Structure 1
């Protein structure tokens, strides 16, 4: 039996230790309360947005269909990491088994990849709506939207199926302590005693492809959109188009910026503290910001919400 095989077998039975967010905090209880509140806000905000979109017929359009898919991804996305973080803090146990770590990593990678793709689909939808308004109902019918959404979920799983088995099959002979609050690929690779340059190259290549295709779609779509908006005679039409597109671009910049730092910048520029801060931002804060960005600046969504909140008083008046 060679040394690599022995190390792989030797490390198969132990658990990792997630040092998490609280090891660096002077006020862990306060931080856990803040994270719990953020978690509830993300769940409630995205769930309400999904409910509004599916219950209000005025929101049964391709744009809102993709927003509901993004909200669904955000709910799953934050649920993959935060409950484990909070439970460990309450119970006082920081262990995570290798199978649990692998499942968490796979789900996380799949959801991140799916969000990359759904943001591109949303940009393409805006391009079709603004640049080809007359043919838009035909070109972006319900079947096309379902195919695009399914494709986004499938593309998202590619990263998970490629990177998770390779990462989790590395022999781990260094410290079992993961300087992170969940099982992210770069944090796990630092524990390996073997050469990780190959998987780092593979990860970089996968992320370039997973980012390059959506970024190309998004940049091309918005280039045509800006040209179309510039040619519009209606000031109201330009304002509405800019409002819709600026909301989407805000989400794109937030999400893609953090992802590029994590997966595409060389590991020599990373520190555990920076990685935790960046991951905290786009893993925990972004799912809270997305429903706010898409609802506060959107009259259709705010109108549907007001209508839903007024159902109770109107219903009572009708009874009287």
Structure 2
């Protein structure tokens, strides 16, 4: 194992009121952990949601889940990576995040960075790619036999939607109907490969007006409360709906019965939170993603870049994400140019 030669490192945490910079002990990795020198991070909606759970009088929380960097040291049980490897990953919500100089992360949720991307571009991909992949293929269980089916993506201009569009088109070849509310969001969805882009509202009427078959699958990236009844109305009988965000109210699940609708959830941190036996699937997925990127099948989704990684840029990034108008992903690094 490479020695770190450091006792402390700089970290940025949230104290319940604001982001602050502080020194944190730098620990050497053990077991299957890697110590990664952070080169770039990306801010996601989950960062802002976790931030609001931090108590003002509690411990400072280090946020950040997307990251790319270089392996600086490895634990004694590490078998996949070595010191010097360039990697990217989405982290573990139960551990310290990536808003720090170095991060400990289990190698089983880490992938090799695509060679064709720089650290900033790579940092934009892990969390949204894993979420989109697991939603489509693990939760909705879409397969090649669904090539002639339609997928409706609600709120598709963000990071997860951007990847879900690409996976559905490039891997399955199915028809993708996306929703977006603004001209720039609609243009972005089209750039990612969506066949049709609707407004978020009046979905049933828009499907009717465009003479489209009811979608077999729906992935909702917005607040489910805003679309629950619309989704039930528009989906094909025996269809499946996947939700990402928490609901704010209770629903009558009997509404799903007439069409025999399957309702599933996706939480990309489930595997790491519960240390599931198939944890390494996220490593395998990220490596598969790296190959697809290098082959030109999948595009990175970096659209905004801030620098350097400090309290000011992380605060600004959270403000941007909380406005809810992002296309693609926002990345922060210590490099001035991408």
Q: Same fold (TM over 0.5)?
A: no
Q: Which protein is richer in helix relative to its size?
A: 1
Give TM class, smaller chain.
under 0.3
TM-score of the aligned structures, taking structure 2 as reference length: 0.23
Specify the structure having the higher radius of gyration (Cα). Answer: 1
Task: Tell me the TM-score normalized by structure 1.
Answer: 0.24
